[in-house]
Amino acid sequence: MKKIMSAVLTAALGVGCLCGCGAGNGASQTAGNGDGIKIFVSLSQADTFRSVLIAAAQETAEENGASIVVYDAENSIENQVAHIKQAVAEDYDVIMCGPVDADTVLELEATAGDVPIIFYNSCPDDSLLEPDKYMYVGSSEEVAGQYQAEYILEQMSDKSEINVVLLKGPQNHSATRGRSEALKNTLKASGKTINMVFEDNANWEQGIAEEYFDVFLQTGREFDVVVCNNDSMALGVIDSCKKNGVTGVPILGIDATADGCAAIEAGDMAFTVYQSATGQGEAAVKAAIALGSGGTTEGMEGLSEDGKYVWVPFEKVDSSNVADYK
């Protein structure tokens, strides 16, 4: 009986200690104590946005005393799986992974075993995420589309009918769906009559966007605004407009790329949404440190209600504040 009691007490104390430690680490991710946490980063493919994100991640890790290594999978799912195996073999505490293909996430999680993974850049299916185990750090695509819609409604508050041209990313891309759906839903919710006079997938490409817009202009249909899922396509539309002598139509993009910002400064583009690569990098590392130390992301800024996502806010960019994003 005594033995059982002491065992129970020991267990209770142990749990108390664990809880205490967990709470301590939970707090530490804001206080900045990531001492000795080893973070493994698998990058799908280096581009401007991701490079900025990784740089911010490295800086944040260094500030918090965590070590970080970065591997580029060069857009190969085989490479990425090999990276994850390596991370497990070398006893890393936590993996940060920008999936080459979001459909391979289940395989990545299986390979990682007990090691927690912070996904970034490309969002896996909701069913594959778990609080404090497999989490996604990024910006909510819906918010970007919603910001575009809000800008349109703000600018065209006097119109009861709005004719919209929408150029989208690849058909099955999560960003395409999220941004387009949120745009349409927000516009419809305003009660105005929304006519989608042109809507096609220009696959993020400036050239395709230009070509499609040329074709659209040929139809002679009226339009009030051109909305693009990213800045590149918006630039394509601008090219088309310049070529066809169309002016005075607001063109909206997303990403606030350097070219996009330049276009805003030049007055060719009306509005874009800045996706903070730095913010995502920082948030991803903070979440990684929390999970790598066996703690929780509870209380972390931007944590979703179900505990599976850490959302990094988008920022609206127009001519008034574009100088801040150059």
Partner 1 sequence: MAKENAEQKGIVSIKLKLLGVIVPIVIVIIVVLVLIAYMTSARVIENYSENLLESSVENQVSQIEAWLNENIAAFQIVKSTIETTQPDEKELQTMLDTYYNYNSDYPQGLYIADENGKVWKASESEMSEDDPLNSTWYQEGLSRVNMAIGSPYTNSQGVNVISASGILNDGSGTTKVISADMTLDRITVIVNAFIEMKNAEAFLIDVNSGTILAHRDSALISTKLGAEGSTVFEKSVAQKIAERDYDFCTLEGNMTVFKEVSGTSWVLVSYIPTKIVLADMMELRTIMIIISVISILVLCVVIERVTHMVINPVKKLTKVITAMTNGDFTVSVTTEGNDEIGVMSRSVEQFIESMKRMLSSMGDISGRLGRQADSSDNVSREMHSAASIQSQSMSELNMTVDQLSISVNEIADNATRLAGVVSDTKDDSLNVENKMRETVRVSQKGRGDMERVGEALEDIRTSIENLKTAVNKVGTASGEIVQIVQLIGSIAEETNLLSLNASIEAARAGEAGRGFAVVASEIGTLASNSTASVEHISRLIDQVNSLVGDTVRQAGDSAEHINESSKLIDTAIETFDVIFNNIQETSDLIDQMVEKINQVDEVATNVAAISEEQAASSDEILATSESMLEQAKGIAENSQHVANESRSLTESSEELAKQVGLFRI
User: Which residues contact partner 1 by CB under 8 A?
Assistant: 171-172, 177, 185, 196-201, 211-212, 215-216, 218-221
* Strand 117-120 relative to strand 251-252, pairing: unpaired
Nearest-angstrom CA–CA distance, 26 and 19: 10
Task: Please identify, using beta-carbon distances, which residue of 8 and 215 lies nearer to partner 1.
Answer: 215
Residues in the chain: 326
Instruction: Report in angstroms how near the CB of residue 311 gets to partner 1 at its nearest.
Output: 20
Instruction: Report in angstroms how near the CB of residue 170 gets to partner 1 at its nearest.
Output: 11
CA 75 to chain CA mean position, Å: 18
DSSP string, 270-293: -EEEEE-HHHHHHHHHHHHHHHHT
Of the candidates 34, 17, 260, the one whose C-alpha atom is nearest the C-alpha of residue 148 is 260
Of the candidates 286, 238, 269, 274, the one whose C-alpha atom is nearest the C-alpha of residue 120 is 286
Instruction: Report in angstroms how near the CB of residue 196 gets to partner 1 at its nearest.
Output: 6
Instruction: Report in angstroms how near the CB of residue 219 gets to partner 1 at its nearest.
Output: 5
The structure tokens listed for 115 are: 């090691």
Task: Please identify, using beta-carbon distances, which residue of 108 and 182 lies nearer to partner 1.
Answer: 182
**Three-state SS at 162:** strand
Task: Please identify, using beta-carbon distances, which residue of 6 and 171 lies nearer to partner 1.
Answer: 171
Nearest-angstrom CA–CA distance, 60 and 62: 5
Burial of 52 (0-12, 13-18, 19+ CB in 10 A): middle
Instruction: Report in angstroms how near the CB of residue 317 gets to partner 1 at its nearest.
Output: 28
Task: Please identify, using beta-carbon distances, which residue of 172 and 319 lies nearer to partner 1.
Answer: 172
Task: Please identify, using beta-carbon distances, which residue of 220 and 245 lies nearer to partner 1.
Answer: 220
Task: Please identify, using beta-carbon distances, which residue of 223 and 314 lies nearer to partner 1.
Answer: 223
Of the candidates 194, 281, 202, 193, the one whose C-alpha atom is nearest the C-alpha of residue 239 is 202
Instruction: Report in angstroms how near the CB of residue 218 gets to partner 1 at its nearest.
Output: 5
Nearest-angstrom CA–CA distance, 26 and 270: 41
Of the candidates 120, 57, 109, 62, the one whose C-alpha atom is nearest the C-alpha of residue 87 is 109
User: Which residues fall within 8 angstroms of residue 16, CB to CB, at 6 or more apart?
Assistant: none
Task: Please identify, using beta-carbon distances, which residue of 160 and 218 lies nearer to partner 1.
Answer: 218
Taking only Cα atoms into account, the Rg of the chain, rounded to an integer number of angstroms, comes to 23
Task: Please identify, using beta-carbon distances, which residue of 159 and 177 lies nearer to partner 1.
Answer: 177
Instruction: Report in angstroms how near the CB of residue 152 gets to partner 1 at its nearest.
Output: 18
Instruction: Report in angstroms how near the CB of residue 107 gets to partner 1 at its nearest.
Output: 19
